[in-house]
């Protein structure tokens, strides 16, 4: 009986999160990430640098005793680096049971975007080949680039991040 209740809760929980995105900005562009991946949002804090990491991986933080690797999303997306301010946030996400911090310029809000308002991104034939974007969400006159959390990191990168998190 408990198993049936747990399964039912998971189904209901997924339904309440479907179509909901945490939105954030990078250099004036609006992005969204599925809320189901987000565990918390924290302000920027001291980051311990780890040698030999790619430049977009800024290092690790200690969040209540848990080591979390931190990525600067600007650098991952090949944008100009920006000095961190009091508006800079770290979005902590969970990918395949590994917590990862994503440094963004600002966090905006949680929005609901219905499936019919999400377009697939243009394909490589049109010159648009961004593996990180899985859709474009339309909200009135605004658009949000919706990230694909499953493709932000390669398998090798996920293994490296997982080993950093277990340090």
Model confidence band, residue 106 (pLDDT cutoffs 50, 70, 90): very high
Residue 8 domain-assigned (yes or no) = no
- Asked whether 70 and 90 are in contact (CB, 8 A), the reply is yes
* Rounded CA separation 47/107 (Å): 19
Q: What's the pLDDT at 71?
A: 95
pLDDT for 157 beyond 50: yes
Neighbours of 70 (CB within 10 A): 24
Instruction: Give Cα separations from 165 to 61, 158, 159 (angstroms).
Output: 9, 10, 10
Report the number of distinct structural domains present in the chain: 1
Token representation of residue 82? 């920006």
Asked whether residue 5 is assigned to any structural domain, the reply reads: no
Domain membership of residue 60 (yes or no) is yes
The CATH number given to whatever domain includes residue 81 is 2.40.50.180
Residue 146: give the domain boundaries: 18-165
Tokens for 79, please give them: 């944008």
Inside any domain, residue 132: yes
**Chain-wide mean pLDDT for the chain?**
86
Does any domain span residue 4? no
Tell me whether residue 24 is in a domain. Answer: yes
pLDDT in tens, 61-105: 999 999 999 999 999 988 999 999 999 999 999 988 889 999 999
The pLDDT confidence band at residue 38, using thresholds 50, 70 and 90, is very high
For the segment 3-36, what is each residue's pLDDT rounded down to a tens digit? 444 554 454 555 677 889 999 999 889 999 999 9
Could you tell me which of 42, 41, 61 has the C-alpha nearest to residue 50?
A: 61
Q: Backbone dihedral region of 147: left (phi > 0), alpha (psi from -120 to 50 degrees) or beta?
A: beta
Q: Is residue 2 one of the residues assigned to a domain? A: no
Q: Is residue 11 part of a domain?
A: no
């Amino acid at each position: 009986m408990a198993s049936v209740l747990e399964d039912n809760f998971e189904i209901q929980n997924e339904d309440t999160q479907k179509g909901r995105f945490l939105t954030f900005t990078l250099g004036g562009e609006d992005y969204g990430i599925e809320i189901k991946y987000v565990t918390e949002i924290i302000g920027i804090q001291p980051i311990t640098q780890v040698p030999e990491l790619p430049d977009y991986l800024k290092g690790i933080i200690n969040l209540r005793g848990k080591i979390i690797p931190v990525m600067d999303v600007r650098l991952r997306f090949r944008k100009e680096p920006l000095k961190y301010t009091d508006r800079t946030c770290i979005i902590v996400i969970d990918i395949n049971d590994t917590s990862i911090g994503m440094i963004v310029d600002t966090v905006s809000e949680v929005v609901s975007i219905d499936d019919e308002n999400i377009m697939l991104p243009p394909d490589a034939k049109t010159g648009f080949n961004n593996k990180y974007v899985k859709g474009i969400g339309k909200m009135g006159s605004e658009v949000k680039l919706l990230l694909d959390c499953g493709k932000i990191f390669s398998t090798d990168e996920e293994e490296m991040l997982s080993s950093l998190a277990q340090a």
